[in-house]
Chain A
Amino acid sequence: MKDSLLFKALSLFVVAAFALAACGTPAPTEAPAATEVPATEAAMTEAPMEEISLRWRTRPDNQEEIDVYSQISETLDAELEGIALTYEPGGTEGTNYQEQLRAEVAAGTAPDVFWIPGTDVADFANRGLILNIADLAGGTEGFDVDAFYPGPMYHLTYNPETDATGADSGALWGLPRDVSTFALYLNLDLIEEAGAPDPRELAASGEWNWDTFLEVAQKTRALGSDIYGYGASAWWGPYGVWLNAAGGGFFNAERNACALNTPGSLEGLEFQRSLYQDYDVATPYGEDPEPPFRAGKVAMFQNGRWATPGVRTVEFNWDVVELPKGPSGTMGNWLFWGAYVINAKTEQPEAAWKLMQALTTANTQGEIAALGANIPSRVSQEAFDAFLTFTPPANNQAFLNGLADSPATEGPLWAGSWPEYDKIMGPAIQAVLTGGSTVEDFGATICDEAGKVFTN
């Protein structure tokens, strides 16, 4: 072609234009904004010289949460004078939020403020990846550590150098975003059809314990070979409650030694084993129980508040009830939490601290809790009252009862590696619950193996 030169020139021009158009986009992973602004145009919008840019990230579980966090980011952007915010959804459970975040921390490209699970706080703090904001908090008028649940704050104020904890420990690693506990999601239709007692009534009358739990599970299981009385996922949370409720637990009180072989832990494990092996009332351990529950084939499904949005779509009658009380007189429930922390490499720690406070106000937490996926991390009657209105489920009080029952706080291992501990404990417990090992064998060997992860 005669105009091939022109075409070549245009081709080069187009390639160059693409490269240029990629320039100046500050946050490629930015969440969809309400009004779409061309990337370069946004980049070209001149910001005042004194305005500070901050990136923040938290793990949402679905698009609705992404939208709410995006909205919150826009609101706070307007409220926080001199601070320009960029919200990044990060990832979800399926896209490895933690791994992606850690890789970015290692590369020095992580956001200024980000969320991490409670179990990760010690690891991040010990490696020097997050800021100790005790000094910033100390100089902030009106800030009160005790405004949040004490369990998370115990770990968030833990000073590994002095072993001190609390407001005066000299350490503050972050602020909790929210809290959650386990409850049992009930398929009321199945329970009624089986003629089993209503667990909510049993709980109200103080008769909701392991025996009555087993009775309901057995009666509903008898409805058919594909109907199960109980279902729980295969991770440390669900199996841990049975150990806690029997007076055992993962660690000793100081959290510096293995307690999986204590009588309480073994009793709890034995009861749970019997649910799977002897009474055969539970969905097979290791299989995701949520699909069969949503298909109407599981009477009692153990999960946290985060499962509520998904369960709201089922077509049968459902509600929640707190976990049954075990031999120790408690439910053995967990207090799950995660925290906003400040990147140790942030260039704007003061602005990041302001953002962190804004993200954990009662108002902000209320907006997120209204979605139904979590519970505000501030202890206040106002927050409780608001939470009770976020229905269904009708019995939201079950979650608050879980919080009031001295739950064991999900927490980091300051004296060892939690991922290593989990990696040893999980398969060993799975072997017991699937019949590959006995509780006696488990008790005889587990702490030899798991004890190695403690550094002290």
Chain B
Amino acid sequence: MTVMPDRSAHPTAFILRVFMVWRGLFALLALVAVLGLWIVPGLGASPWQKIVLSMALCIAALFSLLGLFDIAKRLHRGRTISLILDYLAFVACLVIVLNTGGVFTGIDALADTFGRGILYLGIIVAGYLLGSLSDRYSHRPATERWLGSVSKWIMIAGAVLFVWKIDAVNGLLFFLRNLLQPAGWIAVTGIILFGLSLWGMWHETTASRLQVKTHHEAMLNGWLFLSPNLIGFLIFFAGPLLLSFFFSFTDSDAFNPPNWVGFENYAKIFNIRFTGLASPDQLAREVVDTKIYDEVGRLRLGNGGILFAAADPFFWLALRNTLTFALFTVPLSVLPALILANILNSKLPGMKFFRAVYFIPSIAAIVGIALVWQWLYNATIGYINYFITQGVEFLNTTFQAGLVDPKIQWVSDERTALMSVIIIAAWQTMGFNTVLFLAGLQNIPPELYEAATVDGAGAWARFWNITIPMLAPSTFYVVSTTTIQAMQVFEQVFILMNPAEGPNNSTITLVLYLYRKGFINFQQGYASAIAWVLFIVIFGLTLIQFQRQRRSSIYES
């Protein structure tokens, strides 16, 4: 490894001393902020918010002190810590500035703003395109210069018109006026200080004094490029994930501070009873305490049976429906997709058109799809029943078949409601799965088929012995993702069914149930517990699929 050259030792030594003071000041300010959080009244933060913020600030203070000592010892770790802390603080200050300036609260207005400014933005782009033409006239310098000049003025004119049209000057004034409050100017000061600190510490001479090697630089660059995604992941995914895990142990209702209830939510979910029945129709209240339990279902066995009761019957109904949904949806959207992919993989004319046609349901908006199906399924005026009626009448008239029009109540009969949702889901997912299988099919070396054909293998033998095994990775991916998707079914049910739970709760699913608990009944603690149970179920199923894949994979063997 090469050490970066030391070009100016003396000023850098001074800068490093400044950085040591800065790190100490940083730690002190962080600790003062912690004290302020708990002492200053009227901050409006809830206790748990204060706890989380205090922990973050204490950790920052601790690392800042560590950085101080490392810089004193001229260790590169001091620089790394310094850069990370200052970078995070810089981003935080930037967010506060944007928030104080009203950028986030007005974000919805961008649609309107964009609409007004788009034409003039187009002028800028046109100017740029015109300028790019100048490169073609390198052999005629005068023309090249003229085009470059014209393009520049067009772009400037477009920018001026754009600024005028979107009223950006007033926006700037408003933004600056909003910043004239403590939070605003403190954050602006923070941006300047942390920015200067970043610049100073990032500087090559500082790096060389702290024994920074090229691989340290490479690592920092890597983290820097990762940081937008990483920060987003931590704030918008990992944070809520941990928060929901915490909420699952509380009675959170989203409005009031949550109280810790331990495993109470999970205990309620898993509080179930299996009890023998003296007769198949024996009432539940005669065998279980109906103040606690409600019947979920019963298994009739001869003159008796077994009653399944639960403290939260809806969770178990939802789990049953979700598993049933997945059990039917996965094969119905995978097997036809496999067959379809094989057909579309042929060299017949028009195949590209059909590939697009089958893919359309996957990209169509689910709300539109569900509403269209709602009309199709309508028992009184829907097209599906209309065609069934027409078919029955035709058969009865032509062949005296004596058929009875079934008049299926697709979405209002508990026997068919879930199947109606399954049909939509399978229809919608099949196209996407087909494309995945197609990609897999096109990766199978044609030599294998040629060799098999020479060996006398028929179409079925080639499909069974070459296509299916060689498609194993694609099949695994398709089955896994379709299963996960099926376990999370929500939109189709939510829009298609009215009420969403369907007749006699026949379409209540786990995600729908946790939505109802969390956002209608506002039992967010309980809803979080359901979400974590659902996660465990999906994780378990995926794990099983992984293990089966490992055992059966041709690539492993």
Contacts and interface: CB of A to CB of B under 8 A. Distances in A.
A10 B124 contact: yes
Interface in B496-516: 498-499, 501, 503-505, 516
Interface stretch (A175-183, A196-204, A280-288, A396-404): A280-288
B476 interface: no
B166 A21 contact: yes
Interface in B370-417: 375, 378-381, 405, 409, 411-414
Contacts of B501: 423, 426-427
Given A1-B132, A28-B109, A102 B522 contact: yes
A420 B381 contact: no
B504 A99 contact: no
Contacts of B109: 21-22, 25, 28, 39
A455 to B, nearest CB: 13
B106 A3 contact: no
B504 A44 contact: no
Nearest to A432: B504
Q: Most B CB atoms within 10 A — which of A29, A226, A417?
A: A226
Interface stretch (A237-245, A289-297, A330-338): A289-297
Interface in B159-183: 159, 162-163, 166-168, 170-175, 178
A139 interface: no
A85 B21 CA distance: 52
Contacts of B551: none
B163 A23 contact: no
Given A19-B98, A19-B103, A445-B284, A286 B520 contact: no
Interface in A406-432: 417, 419-420, 423, 426-428, 430-431
Contact of A127 (B117, B256, B414, B519): B256
Nearest to B522: A102
B264 interface: no
Contacts of B291: 452
Contacts, number: 211
Given A3-B131, A234-B499, A292-B380, A25 B167 contact: no
B116 interface: yes
A283 to B, nearest CB: 6
Given A18-B114, A23-B171, A436 B499 contact: no
B380 A283 contact: yes
Contacts of B128: 1, 7
Interface string B126-170: 001001101100000000000010011001000100110011101
B121 interface: yes
Contacts of B135: 1
Contacts of A426: 499, 501
B379 A287 contact: yes
Interface string A25-68: 10011000000001111011000000000000000000000000
Contacts of B550: none
A103 interface: yes
Given A18-B110, A44-B173, A105-B255, A285 B102 contact: no
A39 B112 contact: yes
A195 interface: no
Interface string A268-307: 0000000000000001111111011001010000000000
A426 B503 CA distance: 9
A284 B411 CA distance: 10
Contact of B174 (A38, A44, A297, A417): A44
B453 interface: no
A220 to B, nearest CB: 14
Contacts of B499: 234-235, 426
A423 B516 contact: yes
Interface string B475-512: 00000000000000000000000110101110000000
**Chain A to chain B: the 10 pairs with minimum beta-carbon distance, closest first:** A286-B412, A28-B108, A24-B174, A20-B171, A25-B106, A22-B106, A106-B254, A25-B109, A448-B290, A40-B167
Interface of A: 1-3, 6-7, 10, 13-14, 17-25, 28-29, 38-41, 43-44, 98-99, 102-103, 105-106, 127-129, 225-226, 228, 234-235, 283-289, 291-292, 295, 297, 417, 419-420, 423, 426-428, 430-431, 434, 436-437, 444-445, 448-449, 452
26 contacts: A1-B135, A3-B152, A10-B124, A17-B163, A18-B110, A18-B166, A20-B103, A21-B110, A21-B171, A23-B171, A24-B106, A43-B174, A106-B254, A106-B522, A285-B503, A286-B409, A286-B498, A286-B503, A287-B412, A291-B375, A292-B378, A419-B521, A434-B413, A434-B504, A445-B283, A452-B294
